[in-house]
Amino acid sequence: MKARKTALRKVAGALSAATTKQLILASFVTHDDGGDDEIGYHYVDPETRREFHVRRSETLDDCNRPCFRYFLEERIPNGRLAEVDERGICTRAWDAPLIKEVEARVGPNGLIKELVQLGVDVDKMISVGGGYGVGSIFYPSLEESAGAIELALKNNERYQYFRALTDQEKIKLDRRSAVQSHEYWLAQSAAAARSWATQEDLFKGCYDGLDRPLSDDSKKRILSYLNNPGQDVWLEVRSIIVTGHKNLWAVWCQNDLLAPRSGDKGYPSADALRAAIRSSAASRRAEIEEKLKTTSPSGLRSV
């Protein structure tokens, strides 16, 4: 008799769990996240008012066949409140330490109810979600995503949308990053070499953000400024990239401690800008050479 009651309790528990998951599935609000393969599913738990969002995206399985994967995140209060106007634009935001203090005491399930009792306007709370990244957790189905929501509610814990990497995964990631770093510096070396070989005078070693030697238009604009420096024309040319990743303003600041780091006031003399361009091109070449000494195609650090 006792064994039968125990078995019945297990069956009842399993049915209850299955029902909870099915209720979550049935309560998802579906919306388009930007295409046929980008579908979103939103769920708000009616008892705790906790919010969850699932993003469906297309990927390939182990056999290289198209399939879907599901990324789950929870919208979590970040400890701030905000006010918006009728256009939805934020007009004021401030810290509210009470939010995190209450959650630490009662857990996420009881947070909203407790804050309401304390007089906090919970509709002003700012909540943030997760995002794709290293260690992100993906589920093969929407049903499994619902199961993860069910577990987070049952345990009164915030849902964790990522997992810690294993030591092996960390090593693999570091190796991949090192290989990419070496490839980047190789590309920079080639771009700089082309410029040093093909450009003349002031523009030797100068190349744009796409690793191309400066265009004739860019060089004409810079030379025009050097012939007649002024505030208005400086504002028009200061964003021109001259050493792969630095624009004219950045190279001036690098070469002159008194150069303004912000605002629209101040401009370099012709001599100061010429010196800055030459110095930046030379320092970029030295930086590239140094980086190539400490990286390798295999991702193993050179010694």
pTM equals 0.57
The SS3 call for residue 161 is coil
pLDDT one-digit tens code per residue, 173-203: 888 888 888 899 999 999 999 999 999 999 9
Q: Which of 57-71, 86-100, 101-115 has the highest mean pLDDT?
A: 101-115
Residue 299, helix vs strand vs coil? coil
pLDDT above 80 (res 217)? yes
Q: For the ranges 28-32, 196-200, 267-271, 274-278, which has the lowest average pLDDT?
A: 28-32
* C-alpha dist (Å) from residue 142 to 32, 69, 70, 153: 15, 9, 7, 17
The first and second tokens of residue 5, run together, are 């009651």
**Signed CA dihedral, 25, 27, 32, 36: sign only:** positive
C-alpha 88/C-alpha 77 separation (Å) is 19
What is the token pair recorded at 10? Answer: 């297990």
| Cα end-to-end distance, the chain, whole Å | 74
Are 241 and 247 spatial neighbours (Cβ–Cβ below 8 Å)?
yes
Looking at residue 11, what is its pLDDT?
A: 45
Q: Could you report the per-residue pLDDT of 127-172, keeping only the tens digit for each?
A: 999 888 878 899 999 999 999 999 999 999 999 998 888 888 788 8
What would the mean pLDDT of 69-75 be, rounded to a whole number? 95
The span from the CA of 206 to the CA of 280, in Å, is 9
Q: Which residues contact 233 (CB under 8 A, 6 or more apart)?
A: 224, 225
Calpha distance 133→111 (Å, rounded): 28
* Position 19 pLDDT exceeds 80: no
Q: Do the Cβ atoms of 244 and 234 come closer than 8 Å?
A: no
Contacts of 152 (CB under 8 A, 6+ apart): 50, 52, 74, 158, 159
- Residue 124 to residues 42, 53, 80, 208, Cα–Cα distance (Å): 20, 19, 8, 45
The amino acid at 58: E
Mean pLDDT check: name the lowest of 48-57, 239-248, 292-301: 292-301
Question: What is the C-alpha separation between 163 and 206, in angstroms, rounded?
Answer: 44
